[in-house]
Amino acid sequence: MRAFSKKHTLEFKIPSGTSRGVLTQKESWFIVIAHNSQFGIGECALLKGLSYDDEATYGQKIEWVCNNISLGEEKLLEATQDFPSIQFGIEQAFLSLKNHNPFLFFPSDFTLNNASIAINGLIWMGDRHFMFEQIKAKLESGFSCIKMKIGAIDFEVELDLLHYIRKHFSAADIELRVDANGAFEPSTALDRLKLLSELEIHSIEQPIPTKNWDAMAELCATSPLDIALDEELIGVFDPIEKTRLLESIRPQYIILKPSLLGGYVRSEEWISSANDLKIGWWITSALESNIGLNAIAQWTYVLQNKLPQGLGTGGLYTNNFESPLTVSQGKLYYRNNLSWQADLIDQLCT
């Protein structure tokens, strides 16, 4: 058994704004395992400034994994406890190797092109015109659930944009979600949530910064708008601590990003705790390439969560990998009559 690693910098077609700044590039690493003419591929999707494992030694750790691939999956996962995105890459690579197909993780009706996954359309932050044009495009392309990032421009402008959607589409027509990425101050957050609730918003992700458990718990208890935890989950790995966080804050939802949380197993620990506490959840990708998106989408489908999921569309980048993933009418499909990029394995191994 041998393993290789490859760094690939994804280039955004259009600079994409969040409350933490504007993104123009996204760094990903790939682990490729070769064994008896079979290959397994896993994406280690690092998000600068957000990933728990955003460390100077990140590339060295991936090289160590490749040099010690013969240790096997279990021991490699134990050795990468502080590198959740690398853990997810390891899980993917071994699972696809086991399935004798580098792009097959969870065989299902989804991978047979007999089923799809409902997803939300994402509206990136920017000036009023840019966001307005995105909203129109998503509505015209058939999305029934839209997620708008807020917190970077004037709040009144953001409210106006949401009013525009509601003026033309009722809550029965379009489900609206917003994501503040922790941009609101705890002292003013409740007032803003009240204003948002008047627009029949489905939920808001991470309204205030992380590590404010008491303030977040108070918001979740008093807000007229459902709250979903996102960044709050990053860096919490112990199953007992996961349950303690959810019991303390009692959010209405949690958002699961396997690249940030440590892969399938660690994400499923969150799901188990949430289910026990009757807390809702859905899955979200974290700007992975089509390789990582594919690994997340296949897992998401077998979980059979009927809410619209926060999965990417693969269309953000100029240099993404060609894949069978397509989006139509607000749903993600695996069109198995389409092929993965022909030279992909050669490209990742050289």
Q: What percent of the chain has pLDDT above 70?
A: 99
- Which of helix, strand or coil describes residue 280? strand
CA separation for the pair 326, 83 (Å, rounded): 30
State how far the alpha carbon of 52 is from the alpha carbons of 73, 245, 267, in Å: 21, 17, 15
Q: Which of 7, 257, 278, 331 is catalytic?
A: 257
- b/e sequence 188-198, b meaning 16+ C-beta within 10 Å: ebbebbeebee
3-state DSSP helix/strand/coil % of the chain, to nearest 5: 40, 25, 35
CATH of domain 2-102+344-349: 3.30.390.10
As given in the structure block, the two tokens for residue 144 are 């029934």
Which of 3-17, 46-60, 237-251 shows the lowest mean pLDDT across its residues? Answer: 3-17
- To the query of whether residue 211 is one of the catalytic residues in this protein, the response is no
What H or E segment, with its residue span, contains residue 283?
strand 280-283
pLDDT of residue 17: 63
| pLDDT surpassing 80 at residue 127 | no
Mean pLDDT of the chain: 93
CA separation for the pair 157, 234 (Å, rounded): 30
**168: pLDDT confidence band, cut at 50, 70 and 90?**
confident
Do 97 and 69 touch, CB atoms closer than 8 A? no
Highest mean pLDDT among 38-52, 163-177, 238-252: 238-252
CATH of domain 117-334: 3.20.20.120
Do 254 and 282 touch, CB atoms closer than 8 A? no
| pLDDT surpassing 90 at residue 153 | no
- To the query of whether residue 194 is one of the catalytic residues in this protein, the response is no
Domain boundaries, the chain: 2-102+344-349, 117-334
* Bridge pairing between strands 38-45 and 2-18: unpaired
With the C-alpha atoms ordered 200, 202, 206, 212, is the resulting torsion angle positive or negative? positive
CA separation for the pair 76, 235 (Å, rounded): 19
| pLDDT surpassing 60 at residue 256 | yes
State how far the alpha carbon of 62 is from the alpha carbons of 50, 67, 92, in Å: 19, 9, 14
More confident: 120 or 48: 120
Taking only the tens place, the pLDDT of each residue in 272-310 is: 999 999 999 999 999 999 999 999 999 999 999 999 999
pLDDT of residue 275: 98
pTM for this entry: 0.95
Provide mean pLDDT across the span 129-137: 84
**133: pLDDT confidence band, cut at 50, 70 and 90?**
confident
DSSP track, 208-262: S-TT-HHHHHHHHHH-SS-EEESGGGTT---HHHHHHHHHHH--SEEEE-HHHHT
Q: Which of 26, 61, 138, 149 is catalytic?
A: 149
As given in the structure block, the two tokens for residue 156 are 């009144």
Which of 20-29, 74-83, 233-242 shows the lowest mean pLDDT across its residues? Answer: 20-29
Taking only the tens place, the pLDDT of each residue in 55-79 is: 999 999 999 999 999 999 999 999 9
Q: What angle do CA 128, 225, 198 make, to 5 degrees?
A: 60
